[in-house]
């Protein structure tokens, strides 16, 4: 195994050394070469080194350079050096992180990482926490806890009896709700379309004055960080009202929640700590390798009631068993990289990572505005929306920027306007990456407009 693992490490190191010097989107020839993977299953045992070499030769060039410093599509983080290294080591451990009995080390790392996250995010220290695959599953898990809690209050054990004959729940979302929340509601039997949608303002923030009447059978879903504008629903105006009515407040904070780590942006999160459940990602702004999402629930018993298998099935010890808090039963030790990210960054490094991304986003906005482009959003964190004129021109500029290869940005439609969306979410992005990308955008836009 020695030589094989050394070879894998050497190839991975080479990849990361070069990822900043290649076009961000793979070359057409590299994509064509993926066709070589379409072969029949080998009939016999193959040489491991040859399998690895094939993987590296064909797939590495066809990857998107999301781990480099000039990928600004969707909201995609890179992986911090310490998290990638921890990921390799944890891969060698190959632990099943479901239970303490299977992996005391993985369980303890999750506990420590949880304590640190609750601290930097400003959330209640006794939250129940689940390490899941992504924010979609974190939203699912938080809403499952909400569903359990609201029904338990009415004397209905929804986890045992399901929704058959159960009294209805009202789910309130903003008009700008992320699609993953709707998907989670669908999976929970609460319905993607059965929601009450609250109108939003020009930044996509839910209007507190437009909330429907709430009661103790309602879930209000807030958003901390709109995927287009980065805007935050006004929790300080909504949460007290919702809590007074007895409603459950769930927060989708896939990336925005991390703004709490920087004092300069913390005001955006006013009121959020009073919610009941929170979903976030570690694979976005915390820059751990895919995949990694986290759910926090103020009253841990509700998450546990929704997620725990039967106590009779397993030997339970004194310590927290991770699989009591997640939809997954067997799973990888996801807490390892979260621990490594926070342990390596420290409070100062985390603040710097978040603040630096926001500063880069502002630089993009200023540079593009100076070049005559319209910035469609208030750049409050790391997201920038740019219009290059009419929808067709904007679409052409986006395609041309992507083809140029210096950087990669995607497109979106924001309140009816076609826009290029820049998301700065990577630790690896430097001032030079921003200036190079900005120049490429301005140059390409001028060519398209000409």
Q: Which residues bind ligand PLP (CB under 6 A)?
A: 75, 134-136, 178, 180, 223, 225, 227, 252, 254-255, 281, 293
Nearer to ligand PLP, 180 or 402 (CB): 180
Q: At closest approach, how far in Å is the CB of 97 from ligand PLP?
A: 18
Return phi, psi of residue 142, to 5°: -65, -40
Q: Which of 312, 323, 304, 324 is nearest to 149 (CA)?
A: 304
Rounded to the nearest whole angstrom, what is the least distance from the CB of residue 178 to ligand PLP in the complex?
4
- Residue 11 near residue 56 (C-beta atoms within 8 A): yes
Locus of tokens 């100062």: 348
Q: Measured from the CB of residue 136, what is the shortest distance to ligand PLP in angstroms? A: 3
How many angstroms separate the Cα of 184 from the Cα of each of 156, 239, 300, 328? 21, 21, 20, 15
Please identify, using beta-carbon distances, which residue of 286 and 353 lies nearer to ligand PLP: 286
Question: In this structure, how many other beta carbons lie within 10 angstroms of the beta carbon of residue 396?
Answer: 18
CB of 74 to ligand PLP, least distance (A): 7
Tokens at 287, concatenated: 């820059």
What minimum distance in Å lies between the beta carbon of 431 and ligand PLP? 25
Cβ 49 to ligand PLP, closest distance in Å?
Answer: 34
Of 353, 396, 365, 318, residue with least CA distance to 120: 353
Min separation Cβ 283 and ligand PLP, Å: 6
Beta bridge partners of 196: 172
Distance CA 421, CA 413 (A): 9
Q: Of 145 and 227, which has the nearer Cβ to ligand PLP?
A: 227
Give the residue with the Cβ less far from ligand PLP, 383 or 418: 383
Least spacing, CB of residue 393 vs ligand PLP, in Å: 27
Give me 402's structure tokens. 């992507």
Taking CA atoms, 399 is separated from 209, 394, 406, 434, in Å, by 40, 9, 12, 19
H-state helical runs in 232-385: 235-244, 300-307, 335-370
Residue nearer to ligand PLP on the CB measure, 69 or 142: 142
CB-nearer residue toward ligand PLP: 67 or 406: 67
Closer of 294 and 448 to ligand PLP (Cβ): 294
Q: What is the rounded distance in angstroms from the CA atom of residue 300 to the CA atom of residue 291?
A: 23
Q: To the nearest whole angstrom, how small is the minimum distance from the Cβ of residue 383 to ligand PLP?
A: 9
Nearer to ligand PLP, 252 or 276 (CB): 252
**DSSP type of residue 393:** H
User: Are 385 and 229 contacting, i.e. CB atoms less than 8 angstroms apart?
Assistant: yes
Parallel/antiparallel/unpaired status of strands 128-132 and 374-375: unpaired
> Which pairs count as long-range contacts for 325-328, CB under 8 Å and 24+ apart, including other chains?
325/128, 325/129, 325/130, 325/141, 325/295, 325/300, 326/130, 326/131, 326/132, 326/141, 326/295, 327/132, 327/137, 327/140, 327/141, 327/144, 328/98, 328/132, 328/133
Q: Least Å distance between CB 389 and ligand PLP?
A: 27
Smallest gap from residue 18 Cβ to ligand PLP (A)? 27
Asked if 327 contacts 159 with a C-beta cutoff of 8 angstroms, the reply is no
| Nearer to ligand PLP (CB atom), residue 135 or residue 428 | 135
Query: Element (H or E) spanning 420, and its range?
Result: strand 417-423
Q: Which is nearer to ligand PLP, 281 or 337 (CB)?
A: 281
Residue 423 vs 437, nearer CB to ligand PLP:
423
Using alpha carbons, select from 295, 255, 304 the residue that is nearest to residue 275. 295
What is the closest distance, in whole angstroms, from the C-beta atom of residue 134 to ligand PLP in the complex? 3
Query: Cβ distance 43 to 71 under 8 Å?
Result: no
Cβ closer to ligand PLP: 67 or 136? 136
């Amino acid at each position: 195994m020695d030589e094989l693992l050394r070879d894998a490490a050497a190839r991975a190191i080479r990849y990361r050394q070069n990822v900043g010097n290649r076009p961000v989107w793979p070359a057409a020839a590299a994509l064509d070469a993926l066709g070589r993977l379409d072969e029949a299953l080998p009939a016999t045992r193959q040489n491991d080194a040859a399998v690895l070499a094939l993987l590296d030769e064909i797939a590495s060039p066809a990857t998107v350079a999301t781990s480099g410093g000039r990928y600004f599509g969707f909201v995609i983080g890179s992986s911090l050096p310490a998290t990638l290294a921890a990921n390799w080591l944890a891969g060698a451990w190959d632990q099943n992180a479901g239970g303490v009995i299977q992996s005391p080390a993985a369980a303890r790392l999750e506990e420590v990482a949880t304590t640190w996250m609750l601290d930097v995010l400003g959330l209640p220290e006794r939250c129940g926490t689940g390490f899941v695959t992504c924010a979609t599953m974190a939203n699912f898990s938080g809403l499952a806890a909400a569903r359990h809690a609201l029904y338990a209050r009415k004397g209905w054990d929804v986890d045992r009896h399901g929704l058959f004959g159960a009294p209805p729940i009202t789910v309130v979302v903003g008009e700008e709700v992320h699609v993953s929340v709707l998907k989670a509601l669908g999976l929970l039997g609460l319905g993607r379309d059965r929601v009450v949608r609250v109108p939003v303002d020009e930044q996509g923030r839910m209007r507190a004055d437009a909330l429907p009447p709430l009661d103790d059978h309602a879930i209000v879903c807030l958003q901390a960080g709109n995927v287009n504008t980065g805007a935050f629903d006004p929790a300080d105006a909504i949460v007290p009202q919702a809590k007074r009515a007895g409603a459950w407040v769930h927060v989708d904070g896939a990336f925005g929640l991390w703004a709490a780590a920087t004092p300069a942006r913390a005001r955006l999160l006013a009121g959020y700590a009073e919610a009941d459940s929170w979903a976030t990602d570690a694979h976005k702004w915390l820059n751990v390798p895919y995949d990694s999402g986290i759910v926090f629930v103020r009253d841990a018993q509700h998450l546990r009631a929704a997620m725990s298998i039967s106590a009779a099935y397993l030997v339970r010890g004194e310590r927290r068993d991770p699989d009591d808090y997640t939809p997954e039963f067997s799973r990888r030790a996801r807490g390892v990289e979260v621990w490594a990210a926070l342990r390596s960054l420290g409070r100062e490094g985390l603040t710097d990572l978040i603040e630096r991304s926001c500063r880069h986003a502002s630089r993009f906005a200023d540079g593009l505005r100076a070049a005559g482009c319209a910035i469609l959003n208030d750049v409050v964190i790391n997201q920038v929306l740019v219009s290059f004129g009419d929808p067709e021109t904007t679409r052409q500029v986006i395609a041309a920027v992507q083809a140029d290869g210096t950087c990669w940005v995607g497109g979106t439609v924001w309140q009816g306007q076609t826009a290029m969306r820049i998301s700065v979410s990577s630790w690896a992005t430097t001032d030079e990456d921003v200036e190079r990308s900005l120049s490429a955008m301005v140059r390409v836009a001028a060519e398209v407009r000409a």
